[in-house]
Structure 1
Amino acid sequence: MRKAIATGRIVTEADGTIDAARADAMWDARTDPAQQRGAHARATAAETAATTATAKAALNKPVPRAALDAVKDTLREAGSEPGAAEGGGEVSFVRARMANEVLKAQTARVRLQKMKGELVDRARATAMVFDLARRERDAWLNWPPRVAALMAAELGVEAHQMETVLERHVRAHLGELAEVKVELR
């Protein structure tokens, strides 16, 4: 109680007494439910959710649906049921705080995996795959002129005709390969 008075969470009357109703209201308004434990924390969290809904309606500034959905998705991914503790689909301060902590943990895990070399940059990987595919295509396109004369001599046919046939078949095969779509997700 003394600490609350010293920090200004509760204000005393001029004669040094405390008005209980006023002190309770000040306490609830100036207390972060995430810092509370036990039954009081659950009660405060419920009151905070109700107060948040009332304040939201009064201000006519609804929280964007995308933000609420993001909190719910994060909680769902973490194994929590996002609508279990709330009524009417509202997201309380405690649940939003929990979602924030889950996101921090996920971000830290990704950073650690990247530092360990377990993750690669998507843009870099995409560029490398594209470069590899281009070099592979160029190697195949340069192959018929290199081997056509040798193959023609073995088969006893004209070299230019052999190169033309090889090139036509290689281009057809590369056309089939070009239809394969690679997605790096």
Structure 2
Amino acid sequence: MSKPVSGNKLAAILGVSQTAVRNALKGNRIKRLPGGLIDPVAAREDWAATTDPSRSKVRTSGKVRTQGAQVGAQVRTEAEAREAVTLISRILAEEGMRDDGKGIDFGKVRTAELILKARQRHLDQAEQEGTLVDRAAAEKLFFDLAREGRDAWLSWPARVGIPMAEEIKIDPTTGKVDPRSLVTVLSSYVRQHLAEMGEPSDPEWKKPK
């Protein structure tokens, strides 16, 4: 059994209003555990089996934009049917619903649909609030920072080679570079270079033009 939740939390998980959950509890379509909480996995299965998604009121935030109507997907070939079954099974598995070996029935299809709609609402709200990172912008920023770091290190030896050579000591007994002096001077210049490069600033996750 998954971790029990309250009625309000269950409403958020199912993507429906708290009133809808309370009505389902009153109608015994969803059952509470002895402690008063609810098993979300069992409740989701009960909800899908007893509730018509087209008649349920979905709870939304005022910050979430209204989505346009979408044409329902149509399965035309056997390959598309297998792909749809695989997708539904994966969605249910991600939500902790184990395969009961009975295949995909209409209740499971409706459950997967509710889950996808809830996920989409969360993504829409995150985008509206500016907490959703644009992937293309993130990849571009990562590439730009990596290129800047690469260029900085490629130009570093030519910039510090002469002053480093002047500071490195020669071992009078061997006439060769003193290893300890080399390590000390090199470490000092590396730390100085890292300090010059500084800490990365807060990125602006804007879509690339």
**What's the TM-score, normalizing by structure 1?**
0.45
**What's the TM-score, normalizing by structure 2?**
0.40
Greater relative contact order structure (CA < 8 Å, 6+ sep)? 2
Structure with the higher helix share, 1 or 2: 1
Higher CA-based Rg = 1
